Structure 1
Amino acid sequence: MHFLIRMGIPEMDELWNKLLSDYRTGTISKKNALLFKKWGKALKLLSENPRHPSLKTHDIEALSDRYGERVWQSYLENKTSGAMRMYWVYGPDDQSITIIGLEPHPEDKKNGSYARITLSDIPPYEA
């Protein structure tokens, strides 16, 4: 089963469209070009198989408790300072995944680091 990837509104949609526009016009910075490439690859893998080994997908209990819905984290990169993580939920329907955040990995899980993560609004799930 392939999933339709949706960007959480409005932050994720704006960020993705900005990166895409800058890439297409050749005005993207090297740093953003690298983010665009890694995020694009992760989105493709996520749409094909949310459990793809390179994504290292797992749920984040602290965020799931805060948002009242199971929140998943997948890797864009690993073993780098500030390695980016993509946060997502299933929905708003059975064939969709909604990206609700893109943040650097919190360095210290013991001191409430996930409390500092701000995610976009989660759309209602329609089963």
Structure 2
Amino acid sequence: MNFLIRLGVPEMFALWEGLRRGHAEGTLPKQEEELYRKWGKTMKLLAGNPFHPSLRTHEIAPLSKRYGMKVWQSYLENRNSRAMRMYWVYGPDRRDITVIGLEPHPEDKKNNAYDKVTLSDI
């Protein structure tokens, strides 16, 4: 059961293309090379199974409420204070997943930290 991962949201497409191009040219700084590698692996796992155990995918209720549709979070990494998280939604087509955000994990979800997460318009 494979999904098509869409980066149709302009900000996500531009970020991925910049990383991809820099990787191909060998010009990415170490931190961006690491992001490219981790994000690519995460999207590959997500396409095959959005609930793959290493993704630790779960719905983020405050974001779902704000955007009026289920917003999911998947891990790019773990055990890191600034661990990156990918935010996504199903659609627009039945077998599509659209990435709408890539941000460090909010510091303290008990203090409305998800209010500070800014996602692209869908």
By the TM > 0.5 criterion, same fold? yes
1:52 CA displacement: 0.1
TM-score normalized by the length of structure 2: 0.98
Q: Over aligned residue pairs, what C-alpha RMSD do you find?
A: 0.6
Aligned to 2:87: 87
Q: How many pairs were matched up? A: 122
**Could you report, residue by residue, the CA deviation over 1:46-96 in whole angstroms, capped at 9, with x for unpaired residues?**
000000000000000000000000000000000112000000000001110
1:97 equivalent to 2:97? Answer: yes
Extract unaligned runs of 5+ from structure 1.
123-127
1:113 CA displacement: 0.5
CA distance in 1 between counterparts of 2:84 and 2:25 reads 24
Aligned to 2:33: 33
Extract unaligned runs of 5+ from structure 2.
none
Runs of 4+ aligned residues of structure 1 deviating over 3 Å after TM superposition are: none
Structure 1 counterpart SS, 2:80: coil
Q: Percent identity?
A: 63
TM-score normalized by the length of structure 1: 0.94
CA distance in 2 between counterparts of 1:74 and 1:93 reads 20
Aligned to 1:53: 53
CA distance in 2 between counterparts of 1:23 and 1:87 reads 23
1:8 CA displacement: 4.1
